[in-house]
Amino acid sequence: MRFSTTSIFFALSILASVASSATAEPAVAVNMRQHPVAEDMNPEWQTRIKGGQYVDRADHPYFVSLGGCGGTLIAPDTVLTAAHCGDLTGKQVAVNLYDNKNVYDGGVEIRYCEEWVEHDNWDVGDYSADFALCKLDKPVWTNQLTDKEITLKWNDDPNFNVDNEELIAMGHGHVAEGAAGSQWLRYIKIKGYSQEDCRSTKMYGRQIGDSMLCAGMDDGSRDTCPGDSGGPLIKRVQVGDAFVDTLVGVASWGEGCGAVMRPGVYARVSWAADFIRETTCNDFNSIANWCGNEKEEEETCDGLLAVIAVDTDNYGGDTSWTLREKGRGNTAQVMSRKYWVNNYSNVHQVCLKKQQCYRLDLYDSYGDSLCGNGDCKVVGLGKKTRKGVRIQYEINHNWGSHFRVNFCVNKRGTRIRSKQLRTLYSE
């Protein structure tokens, strides 16, 4: 059975079938303007927080903002989110983001999604198995982000009771249907429904599969809405001054926002227990304490430790780049990054091979490069030295929607050479 996108929609759906001519305000508005929506983003399929309150700044350090979707840090290096949020490889994420206009808050950690895996059974047709995992480029320790004693567990018990239990959902999504997103992280307390109730004719009937669960309010007074997709649904238990939060769901879809007898639908975490454990522990080789993997030694660079520095403008979501090796028939990708945080200085280290040439492609989806502030922000190319970062080349003109830079590393692995760019200093 298929459903109209006018009545059933995702919290933030990233689907390839959407026409590129559609326009919408981004769900997480970090000082963003309105832009044409990318080909893989449908502004109609979104869900949001309705009837919520602002969270205590220290209450949910595991919440992750993906720039339009939410997620949950289930291990220091792993984020669980919704598959319909799209392939997040290389995407910028913000752990413990409270005020989405203030990523410089000392409690926020900026990371990147180094690897992304969706559930094998994810089906955009019936919304089943709406799970995806992201491996971060560097771990984040949540106990360093809050002064409260908070333990997060993800639920692997299919018999864990949520029926008529108080649950908590959160996000930066819209505060009502048709309204704007919230600048500050908000939460709602809602109740869980049994599968029998959720599958009844008074709710969703046969639309609800085994991988789903429902949570909301009968009268629709509290619900998740656009921009909350992928975010956590938890059951909180307080013991003295300590909190134990059990992740039971991932915000997935709903019919309307806050409609009577149409609660939010969440991906049921216990259903995906094998996927979560095997992907996190085996594919990602995560340092999660429930994986038992040995901590990997830090990799050393046998070539040149290069630096790519990008200062985003007022519209960080426009900007991305990809670095590839060059050779006969070889354009192997080395690294890619996609931004969404505005006016932020991003510095990336990447190990380059000796006597190897590379191609750096810069992209801006709006076509004004990094000049959205009225002046042009800088892309820097250089290397890491014992004294710090040394930027050798700068790109600070209006290069439009795409700019390609070719450069090579010398045979000793000590210098970067580019015939396109003017060096900032003499070597």
Is the predicted pLDDT of residue 173 greater than 80, yes or no?
A: no
Please tell me the distance from the alpha carbon of residue 176 to that of residue 68, in angstroms, as a whole number. 16
Is the predicted pLDDT of residue 64 greater than 80, yes or no?
A: yes
Is the predicted pLDDT of residue 273 greater than 90, yes or no?
A: yes
Residue of 60, 84, 119, 174 marked active site = 84
Confidence of residue 237 (pLDDT cuts 50, 70, 90): very high
Please tell me the distance from the alpha carbon of residue 327 to that of residue 100, in angstroms, as a whole number. 42
Residue of 128, 229, 270, 369 marked active site = 229
Average model confidence (pLDDT) for the chain?
Answer: 85
Average pLDDT over residues 95-121: 94
- pLDDT at position 51 is 55
DSSP, collapsed to helix, strand or coil, labels residue 144 as: helix
Helices vs strands, H then E, count in the chain:
2, 29
Is the predicted pLDDT of residue 93 greater than 60, yes or no?
A: yes
- pLDDT at position 156 is 97
Select the more confidently predicted residue: 364 or 50. Answer: 364
CA angle 289, 82, 126 (to 5 degrees): 135
- Asked if residues 336 and 310 have their Cβ atoms less than 8 Å apart, the reply is no
- pLDDT at position 4 is 33
CA angle 23, 29, 30 (to 5 degrees): 135
**Per-position DSSP letters for 386-425, written without gaps between them:** TTEEEEEEEE-S--TTEEEEEEEE-TTS--EE-SSS--SS
Confidence of residue 37 (pLDDT cuts 50, 70, 90): very low
pLDDT in tens, 120-163: 999 999 999 999 999 999 999 999 999 999 999 999 999 999 99
> Tokens in use for 182?
């919230």
Select the more confidently predicted residue: 106 or 89. Answer: 89
- pLDDT at position 176 is 58
- pLDDT at position 25 is 26
213 strand-pairing partners:
266
- pLDDT at position 225 is 78
Q: Which domains does the chain have, with CATH numbers?
A: 8-283 (2.40.10.10), 304-417 (no CATH)
Confidence of residue 259 (pLDDT cuts 50, 70, 90): confident
Confidence of residue 174 (pLDDT cuts 50, 70, 90): low
Please tell me the distance from the alpha carbon of residue 293 to that of residue 290, in angstroms, as a whole number. 9
| Cβ neighbour number for residue 278 with a 10 Å cutoff | 12
Is the predicted pLDDT of residue 197 greater than 50, yes or no?
A: yes
Is the predicted pLDDT of residue 49 greater than 80, yes or no?
A: no
- pLDDT at position 50 is 54
Average pLDDT over residues 370-389: 93
Q: Would you give the DSSP letter of residue 373?
A: T
Amino acid residing at 29: A
Confidence of residue 179 (pLDDT cuts 50, 70, 90): low
**CA-based nearest residue to 8, from 88, 86, 122, 84:** 84
Is there a catalytic annotation at residue 119?
A: no
Residue of 99, 130, 228, 364 marked active site = 130
Is the predicted pLDDT of residue 425 greater than 80, yes or no?
A: no
Is there a catalytic annotation at residue 361?
A: no
Is there a catalytic annotation at residue 84?
A: yes
CA angle 150, 156, 161 (to 5 degrees): 85
Ranking 93-102, 208-217, 252-261, 396-405 by mean pLDDT, the lowest is 252-261
Whole-model pTM? 0.86
pLDDT in tens, 19-33: 222 222 222 222 211
Is the predicted pLDDT of residue 66 greater than 60, yes or no?
A: yes
Please tell me the distance from the alpha carbon of residue 74 to that of residue 249, in angstroms, as a whole number. 12
Query: First CA to last CA across the chain, in angstroms?
Result: 67
